[in-house]
């Protein structure tokens, strides 16, 4: 039994929303989902009769959501760079004022973070502390997603080692 295009779009909407939520701020999710559904609608004639449409349509949706994320983060990257230039001290990023949903680290964690190279610390804070996906952090910082993934792994290893040294045996 083949699904109509409306049934396919209804089935794809929750999947698209989950993917968009993983890559974008909540305010951008509806726009990304709408763009993905339009791309699915345009791609649906390419589905061969008798074939499962899900593989093709998920690829189309994933590409459209990633395209939306790139446009969003490219547009906001200059604003973020200006905000970072305005920080008074490098330690301001490590220990922002607590309250109002801002990050706050214990002195022990802040000291361990201070041992990281600046770029690794920046990537780690964008992904782990700010909760961004690797793709979102990569777009924001102007590096590849693979570099973000590798940098986070190295940073976490260094943090574990730095924190392990502090614990008395």
CATH number of the domain encompassing residue 102? 1.10.10.10
Res 38: pLDDT:
92
Q: Comparing 103 with 168, which gets the higher pLDDT?
A: 103
- Please give the backbone phi and psi of residue 99, each rounded to the nearest 5 degrees, phi first: 95, 165
Residue 52 neighbours by CB under 8 Å, 6+ apart:
none
Is 0.75 topped by the overall pTM? Answer: no
Residue 168 binned pLDDT confidence (cut-offs 50, 70, 90): low
Picking from 55, 76, 97, the residue at the C-terminal end of a domain is 76
Per residue in 146-165, is it b (16+ CB within 10 Å) or e — as a string?
ebbbebbeebeebbeebeee
With respect to residue 12, please indicate whether it lies within any of the assigned structural domains. yes
Residue 52 binned pLDDT confidence (cut-offs 50, 70, 90): confident
pLDDT (tens digit per residue) in 108-156: 788 888 888 888 988 988 887 777 888 888 888 888 888 999 998 898 8
With respect to residue 83, please indicate whether it lies within any of the assigned structural domains. no
Picking from 24, 51, 76, the residue at the C-terminal end of a domain is 76
CA 140/CA 81 separation, integer angstroms: 9
Residue 80 binned pLDDT confidence (cut-offs 50, 70, 90): low
Segment 5-9 long-range contacts (CB within 8 Å, at least 24 positions apart): 5/41, 5/44, 8/40, 8/44, 8/53, 8/57, 9/37, 9/40, 9/41
Residue 6 binned pLDDT confidence (cut-offs 50, 70, 90): confident
Q: Smallest Cα–Cα separation from 137: which of 119, 161, 154?
A: 119
Shared-domain flag, residues 150 and 103: yes
| Tokens 């700010």 sit on residue | 130
Mean pLDDT of the chain: 78
CA 89/CA 77 separation, integer angstroms: 21
Residue 137 neighbours by CB under 8 Å, 6+ apart:
123, 126, 127, 130, 148
Picking from 76, 99, 123, the residue at the C-terminal end of a domain is 76
Q: Smallest Cα–Cα separation from 138: which of 155, 119, 156?
A: 119
CA 72/CA 55 separation, integer angstroms: 26
Q: Do 64 and 14 form a contact (C-beta atoms < 8 A)?
A: no
């Amino acid at each position: 039994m083949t699904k109509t295009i409306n049934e396919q779009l209804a089935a794809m909407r929750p999947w698209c929303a989950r993917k968009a939520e993983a890559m974008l701020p909540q305010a951008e999710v509806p726009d990304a989902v709408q763009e993905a559904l339009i791309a699915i609608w345009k791609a649906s004639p390419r589905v061969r009769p008798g074939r499962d449409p899900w593989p093709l349509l998920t690829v189309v949706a994933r590409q459209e959501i990633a395209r939306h994320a790139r446009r969003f983060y490219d547009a906001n990257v200059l604003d973020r760079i200006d905000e970072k230039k305005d920080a008074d001290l490098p330690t301001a990023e490590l220990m922002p004022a607590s309250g109002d949903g801002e990050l706050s680290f214990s002195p022990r964690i802040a000291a361990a973070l201070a041992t990281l190279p600046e770029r690794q610390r920046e990537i780690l804070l964008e992904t782990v502390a700010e909760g961004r996906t690797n793709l979102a952090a990569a777009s924001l910082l102007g590096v590849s997603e693979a570099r973000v993934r590798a940098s986070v792994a190295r940073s976490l290893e260094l943090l574990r080692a730095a924190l392990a040294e502090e614990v008395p045996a």
